[in-house]
Structure 1
Amino acid sequence: MIILGFHAVEAILQSKQSIKNIYCLQKEGTRATQLKSLANQRKVTWKEFGTKDKHRFEAEFKRAGGTGAEVETSQGIFAEIGDIQSIPHLDLLKMAKKKEEFPIIVYLDNVTDPQNLGSMLRSGAFFGVSGIVMTETRSSPLTPAAIKISSGGFIHVPTARVPNLARALEEAKEEGFWIVGLSEKATEAFETARFDAPLGLVIGNEETGIRQLTEKTCDYTLSLPAHGQLVSLNAATAAAVSLALVRNRQGMIGADDSEE
């Protein structure tokens, strides 16, 4: 597997993930120098190519599994690593409850766009999400593009793959999580909801939203209020806005509790 771009390579160097090699086109500036120093500290092989050897860099990129389109967005640096392992769903639930009183786990219902997945990993890391859960099929894999877009979020937000989303949501309920789905058809809004329990936030497919069975499994659904001409957002943007609203409401709960 390959990791593209400065943010992603820096994140992988700062993690415990094993790294085979790092390949870099020779660049002036401190960023590449700092990453090379990190690689040396971790005893990771750093292979540098001069501008005249760009074809050799591209050949290594393709050998490692990259495509011609991806090499153009690589910023001239990539790391070759082993597969990033997902963790068992039940382990993720237990880890989340140990992490904080009101953890958030995001469940993706057939989200197939790698760019949306990458953006959700980034916003998930920003808002302190405990994990992202996806189905084993009909969901985006963790592609080099998704990893690059996550800007290091893939290191901070663990992922789990499940064979059946509805069953996974039931498991989360058994562990004390409230399951809330995002739906345009919902009548309740985030501003009036309470989030004083572990939360499983369900985000649906980019085109069709959450499936009927998934919606039936939710404890309730919420909608994002539209104030303009468009009535919907893409999955990644909807997830980021929802996480901001949830964290804001959780902060208000804490303030209310301290005043009592």
Structure 2
Amino acid sequence: MDRTESIYGINPVLTLLKQSPSQVLQLYIQAGIHSRRIDEIAGLATKKDIPTEVVERVRLQALAGCDRHQGVFAITKPVETLSFDTLLDHLEKDYMAQQLPPLLVLDQVQDPHNLGACLRTADAVGIAAILIPERKSTPVTAVTRKVACGAAESIPVIPVKNLARSLQALKKLGYWLVGTDERGSMDYTELDWTIPVTLVMGNEGSGLRRLTRESCDYLVHIPMLGQVSSLNVSVATGVCLYEMLRQRRHK
């Protein structure tokens, strides 16, 4: 059998069935669970002729590998990955006459929960794509898709071989690169977020790598008034992205 992936949780499964039902190969629903959204999932699967099996909780937990499945689990085709070159072509053709859409870069973020949380926030504020290095970054996993609550199906996560080179390509296209760093000279609220911006976030432990930091046009910091020196990467991402959204809505 060709390589497959999996997804669990009501929101991710329901979103996939609505947006890309052909991706779903097999659906499992826990016996004895009834709710409006579970019934909607079952109805969509029936409408699209997706094989569906009702199974006991123990088997569903074994399939998902955890107990946070919310009563649904699906085997899917692999997520189609957009290439960076295709993204650049898309941006050049569709957006050059308008303002470039905001992008997000996660530099070697390794926790799938953090990637999922960043995806969820990115979807909420209108991020067009997320770039990650191919090496030492978490891919989109079933855990990521569960945490993202459907956003992993709407925002492409694009692995790149050379992040520094990819960042330079974005700058040539017209983007300003904004990195977050506790040593950044500018408060994140002082930046003009209405410019064509790519937000660049570092990983959970060491933050931005040197070449990534040096590629940024601006380095901003988030004020920390307590004893800890930094926020979780997904929280810091949300803080910056919602400042971007606030400024753009009031422009």
Q: TM-score normalised to the size of structure 1?
A: 0.87
**In structure 2, the residue corresponding to 1:14 is in which secondary structure?**
helix
Name the counterpart of 2:174: 176
Q: Does the CA-based 8 Å contact 1:190-1:246 persist in structure 2?
A: no
Report the 3-state secondary structure (helix = DSSP H, G, I; strand = E; otherwise coil) of the residue aligned with 2:121. helix
Q: Deviations over 1:188-243 (max 9, x none)?
A: 12222113332111000111110111111111211112233333101100001110
Q: How many residues align?
A: 242
Gap change, CA 1:188 and 1:156, over 3 Å in 2: same
Q: Pairwise CA RMSD of aligned residues?
A: 1.8
Q: 1:7 is matched with which residue?
A: 11
Report if aligned partners of 1:102, 1:196 keep a CA contact under 8 Å in 2: no
Give the direction of change, closer, same or farther, for the CA distance of 1:223–1:33 in structure 2 (3 Å limit): same
Per-residue CA deviation, residues 35-81 of structure 1 (Å, 9 max, x unaligned), is 111112222122112xxx4444456x2xxxx43xx2x1112211110
> Of residues 191, 194, 197 in structure 2, which corresponds to 1:193?
191
* Pair 1:85 & 2:112 matched: no
Note if contact 1:90-1:171 (Cα within 8 Å) is conserved in structure 2.
no
Counterparts of 2:239 and 2:155 in 1: how far apart (Å)? 18
Q: Secondary structure at the match of 1:137?
A: coil
Which residue type is aligned with residue 186 of structure 1?
A: G
- State the match for 2:206 in structure 1: 208
Structure 1: state its 5+ residue gaps: 255-260
Within the alignment, does 1:95 sit opposite 2:93 as a pair? no
- Say if 1:118 and 1:146, in contact at 8 Å, map to a contact too: yes
Stretches of structure 2 lacking an aligned partner (at least 5 in a row): none
Instruction: Name which of 20, 31, 42 aligns with 2:25.
Output: 20
* Paired position in structure 1 for 2:51: 45
Percent identical pairs in the alignment equals 29
**Alpha-carbon distance, 1:94 to partner:** 4.4
